[in-house]
Amino acid sequence: MLQSNDLKGIFVPVVTPFTQDGELDLPSFERYLGQLLRHPIQGIVINGTTGEAPTVEWAEVEALFEVARTVIRRLGVRTPIIVGTGTNDTRTTVRRTAAAGEWGADAVLVVTPYYSRPSEEGTFRHFQAVVETGTPLVAYEVPERTGIRLSAETMERILTLDGVIGLKDATGGIDLLHALAGRTEKPMMAGSDDTFARMLRRGASGGILASAQFRTEAFLEVNRLAANGLFDEAEAAFSKLLPLTRLLFRETNPSPIKWMLAQSGILASDEVRLPLTPITRSLQEELSAFL
């Protein structure tokens, strides 16, 4: 199981491949992980935002987890697996978190409850209930997708809970990271790809970054430079990654990433489940330059 001091470096949230008729494509997933895990990344996230968590059934998440564990064993690597278990229903989140722990997940990623728009006290109690499962938990703050933005005070309360090992900060800026500086010893991971280098300079311990599926070694180098205090060099190196990173988020994640993976022959299809749709022809043309 992951501990707070393990939450550093580059974690890659992986896609969930589908066939053209919308079914789970486990052969593509196995091939994809075989490519990705040849890089010395610090972990992967299954069933996160990039994995289309809202439209993936829980039995499918278990199947993905089993394939990931098999690939990791076959390659002889020790890559931790974080499983996204967060929903807007506390009871469902508790059940899923307990199940992921029983499977052997190293930690879970739990998003702040979306759609229901709970109070900050309700959100705190949501996390308080989930940590009772005993599975290490990474809190995930992503206001653009959930419709709520927690105060630094509430996030600090969440981070004080035993079992919460850190935070994925996808707020799109550095304000929360700055506000929490000196108020918690729990690690904070960059979750908005284009702010990665700035967040490292402000004290982030690494990133959970969808765009790190591509040019993975370059992302690892940015993190290495920052870990050694070479922040100017890290930002200069990251500036070379920004054009691709921004293109990958021009349209809704993970559609652009899936298109790139399919064009590279790693996935059999760029299929996404409705209400997501494949990327536009204009974005295809721009992304083709990076292939």
User: What pLDDT, in 10s, does the model give residues 110-157?
Assistant: 999 999 999 999 999 999 999 999 999 999 999 999 999 999 999 999
Q: Binding site, residues?
A: 50, 208
Question: SS3 string of the chain?
Answer: CCCHHHCCEEEEECCCCECCCCCECHHHHHHHHHHHCCCCCCEEEECCCCCCHHHCCHHHHHHHHHHHHHHHHHHCCCCCEEEECCCCCHHHHHHHHHHHHHHCCCEEEEECCCCCCCCHHHHHHHHHHHHHHCCCEEEEECHHHHCCCCCHHHHHHHHHCCCEEEEEECCCCCHHHHHHCCCCCCCEEECCHHHHHHHHHCCCCEEECHHHHCCHHHHHHHHHHHHCCCHHHHHHHHHCCHHHHHHHCCCCCCHHHHHHHHHCCCCCCCCCCCCCCCCCHHHHHHHHCCC
Summarised one tens digit per residue, pLDDT across range 233-285 is 999 999 999 999 999 999 999 999 999 999 999 999 999 999 999 999 999 99
32 is catalytic: no
140 is catalytic: yes
What band does 290 get if pLDDT is binned at 50, 70 and 90?
Answer: confident
Model pTM? 0.97
> What domains can be seen in the chain, in order of their start residue?
4-251 (3.20.20.70)
Summarised one tens digit per residue, pLDDT across range 58-72 is 999 999 999 999 999
| pLDDT for the residue 245 | 97
Summarised one tens digit per residue, pLDDT across range 187-205 is 999 999 999 999 999 999 9
Q: Binding site for pyruvate, residues?
A: 50, 208
| pLDDT for the residue 131 | 98
Catalytic residue among 8, 32, 140, 186: 140
Catalytic residue among 168, 186, 240, 258: 168
**What number is the average pLDDT over the span 21-31?**
97
> Average pLDDT, whole number, for the chain?
97
